[in-house]
Amino acid sequence: MTDRLEYIFSPKSIAIIGASRSRRKVSWEVLDNLLVYGYQGRVYPINPAASSIHSIRAYPSVLDVPDEVDMAIVVVPASKVLPVVEECGEKGVKGLVVITAGFSEVGPAGAELERALHSLVKKYGMAMVGPNCMGVINTQDDVRMDATFAPMLPIEGDISFMTQSGALGVAVMEHARNVGVGLAKFVSLGNAIDVSGNDLIEYLEEDPLTRVILLYIESFGDPRAFVKIARRVTKVKPILALKSGRTEAGARATISHTGAMAGPDVGTQALFEQCGVLRVGSIQELFDLAMAFSLQPFPAGRRVAIVTNAGGPGIMATDALVAFGMEMAQLSPKTTAYLKENLPKEASANNPIDLIADADGARYRLAIEAVIRDENVDALLAITVPPVVTDEVEIAQAIWNCAQDSDKTIVSSFVTRTKDSPAFNELVTHRVPSYLFPESAARALAAMATYKEYLERQEGEFQAFDVDRDSALEIILRVKKEGRSRLHEMEALALLRAYGFDIVRTRVVSSRDEAEATAEEIGYPLVLKAVHPEMIHKTEYGAVALDIRNPEELRSQFDSIVSRLSSKGLKAEQFMVQEYARGGKETIMGMNLDRKFGPMIVFGLGGIYVEVLRDVAFRLTPMTNMDALRMIESVRSYPILEGVRGEAPSDVPALAEYLQRLSQMVEDFHDIKEVDINPFLVFERGRGCKVVDARILLTPEAS
Ligand code: COA
């Protein structure tokens, strides 16, 4: 696909099919953009009713063009698309950009037309972007192709932007111009029936002129393929993504905590975290980050120094940096001494370094040079509240001069100054990002540090454990055969045991006498639970008794459970006698099958408050060993597993292994819809984990 996309991004000749004689038409704008932006290849307007358009010779059909045509931009109404695309195929056109709307986005008739279009494209082996798109741009010097109908021309740069919304694409390009961010490639995907977003990411991965990839995503076509590709690409160049809309999460699960906690956006979040895509919340943020990513080197660490000419913005920037997870650098005594000696006595030589209001370019230069030489500093944020008494361009020059002599990350904020200010232009054209407010600069620095850490992080390995797949299959087939979708408790435990999970000793009994006999075998203390198909969360029914220490207690608890249930009109036929495992911490581990994203593994600290606290992390399968470890470390209450106030650390490596075993199990059996292991007790490091309770549900189709 990557080769075929060359015809779309770097065609030597373009036919505009449906080029209109009328200025107000979309196709006229496309042709106009191609000409005004200075497309380096040949252009052939196609219109059966015109001999020339925009002073260029027009042809009635693409078949009449005397030369080869690499790419065609289709701008005829939907009803006319199929015949013109057929002609393109006959002509040997290699790439198509179909701007025309009126396909699957308008309903079943459009979808039918779209399928026919796709068949034609495949029949002739063409590559097609669209339909229903804004077009494509390549600013490369020897191509200079603006094949869109956007009202403003792009500026050249090293950011490539792929959007699922054409209209938003226009807004974004306008914003890019305003903040001085230049584009390498732009592509509006439209309905993406042939060239997909994933194909384009792979193309941009190899494009030497693209340094940063920006995505605007409304929905994922194939999230699993995206993870695979993005994992690789983000190790080479950053991907910044703005994702709107809610995921098409499956119908909300009913039986498990896992299902209840799988909000509509967790799939996207999990996916981005796993493959190193940086998610942003707005178009502004997308470009704030893109500017820094494209202009500056990534910081080696999170230690930032601030140099400012006003105290207030310095403090605000400090707060913002810390909130975004950065650290204020501790300057070395040598740097502080130097600054004290050379700055006015009213200035502050500690970070944030306040040069005070009359600071000129020379004072900025002196301070910045000293600070970025300091080994304790990874990045610098230069803030300027535009001065009344000194020249702001001179300050801007001092900042970019220092940046050019250093390999440390330098960003700036000329408070209130944007595109039209001389300081902004001075900085950005010399590769120093400049922001309206210091908070934006702080956010950009933090994102760069995050990406740098991502570049250095170990991705780990996909491990395959030796499991008893046959026994697992047998259980699943039996449940299906009986027309059930829910596994009985003992079946759920057995399924987990087949995948290597350690389970607390458990027996099922049907009478009090049998319970007593079993208790002797397992040993006190014990847990007694009633089993009834209507009870999902047993505690809520008073059907569980913990820490039973002797036969007397067992008998009396047995009787109380029976009478509590009978007061609710329930009669339990079976009971579980279980070893009372103590000393571990309660975690929850589970899986929820999302219609779009597939199996999503959940992990968190468990117990009865799990749904209230929602301190859980989600990941998509398959998971590497490092994914599993990072997943555990990402929950807020992770320090509890490390041990607080002298506690021994929990067996986190064992938890990580079980997450992978669970991942393997649900990858092996795609008809498992939900797994909820809660509580899953984790003991001290080296002592493993034990399943106390588990619920497993198969997809309804499975039954
Ligand atoms: N081959 C070539 N040209 C043809 C043709 C053919 N078989 N049949 C007709 N034409 C010419 C027409 O004569 C017309 O030229 P003219 O204005 O000089 O007469 C030109 O093609 C355009 O056709 P027209 O019928 O005027 O269509 P239009 O310009 O009003 O609309 C689209 C065409 C594609 C713009 C419109 O159908 C559409 O899809 N609009 C939405 C686009 C959109 O929003 N895309 C998604 C963005 S995110």
Element (H, E) at 119: helix 108-123
Residue with tokens 């990534």: 298
| Greatest alpha-carbon span in the chain | 103
Closest CA to 528 of 494, 498, 504, 499: 504
Q: How far is the CA of 25 from the centre of ligand 1 (A)?
A: 7
Average pLDDT over residues 41-60: 96
Average pLDDT rounded to a whole number, residues 314-336: 97
Q: How far apart are CA 568 and CA 219, in angstroms?
A: 46
Measured from the Cα of 149, ligand 1's closest atom is: 47
Q: Using the mean position of ligand 1's atoms as its centre, give its distance from the Cα of residue 121 in Å.
A: 20
- Is 25 near ligand 1, meaning CB less than 6 Å away? yes
Q: Is the pLDDT of residue 65 over 80?
A: yes
pLDDT level of residue 533 (50, 70, 90 thresholds): confident
The rounded Å distance from CA 491 to ligand 1 centre is 63
State the average pLDDT over residues 171-193.
Answer: 89
More confident residue, 658 or 521: 658
The rounded Cα 68 to chain-centroid distance in angstroms is 42
Helix, strand or coil for residue 342?
Answer: helix
Give the Cα separation of 222 and 216 in Å (integer).
Answer: 15
**Mean pLDDT (whole number) for 551-566:** 91
User: How close is the Cα of 446 to the center of ligand 1, in Å?
Assistant: 47
Pinpoint the alpha helices (H) of 283-351. Answer: 283-295, 311-323, 333-342
Q: What is the pLDDT of residue 258?
A: 53
Q: How many CA atoms does the CB half-sphere of 624 hold within 13 Å?
A: 13
The whole-angstrom separation of Cα 27 and Cα 147 is: 10
The residue with greater pLDDT, 415 or 197, is: 197
Model confidence band, residue 556 (pLDDT cutoffs 50, 70, 90): very high
pLDDT of residue 251: 37
For residues 448 and 293, give the distance between their C-alpha atoms in angstroms, rounded to a whole number: 7
- Encoding tokens for residue 605? 């600290």
Q: What is the pLDDT of residue 284?
A: 86
In sequence order, the 6+-apart residues with CB closer than 8 A to the CB of 548 are: 519, 524, 525, 526, 527, 528, 554, 557, 580
Ligand 1 pocket, residue 567 CB under 6 Å = no
Q: Is the dihedral of CA 27, 29, 35, 41 positive or negative?
A: negative
CA of 20 to the centre of ligand 1 (A): 7
**Does ligand 1 come within 6 angstroms of the Cβ of 165?**
no
Closest residue to atom 21 of ligand 1, CA basis: 18
Other C-beta atoms lying within 10 Å of the C-beta of residue 201: 22
From the CA atom positions of the chain, what is the Rg in Å?
Answer: 32
Mean pLDDT over each residue of the chain, to the nearest integer: 91
Give residue-wise pLDDT tens across range 597-630.
Answer: 889 999 998 777 777 777 889 999 999 999 999 9
**What pLDDT shows up at residue 450?**
96
Taking residues 488-496, what's their average pLDDT? 94
| Alpha helix positions (H), 507-571 | 512-522, 551-567
Q: What is the mean pLDDT of residues 28-48?
A: 97
Is residue 248 predicted with pLDDT exceeding 50?
no
Q: What pLDDT band is residue 259 in, cutting at 50, 70 and 90?
A: low
Dihedral (CA of 85, 91, 97, 99) sign: negative
Q: What is the pLDDT of residue 554?
A: 92
State whether the beta carbon of 60 lies less than 6 angstroms from ligand 1: no
Q: pLDDT > 70: what percent of the chain?
A: 96
Q: Which of 453, 487, 419, 409 is nearest to 665 (CA)?
A: 487
Q: What is the pLDDT of residues 108-140, one digit of tens each?
A: 999 999 999 999 999 999 999 999 999 999 999
Taking the C-alpha atoms of residue 683 and residue 456, their distance in angstroms, rounded to an integer, is 31
Per-residue model confidence (pLDDT) at position 588: 94
HSE, CB side, 13 Å, CA atoms: give it for residue 541.
23
CA of 650 to the centre of ligand 1 (A): 66
User: What pLDDT score was predicted for residue 177?
Assistant: 83
* pLDDT of 43 higher than 50: yes
Q: What is the mean pLDDT of residues 158-171?
A: 90
100 lines ligand 1 (CB under 6 A): yes
**CB within 8 Å of 633: residues ≥ 6 apart:** none
Residue range 4-8: mean pLDDT, rounded: 94
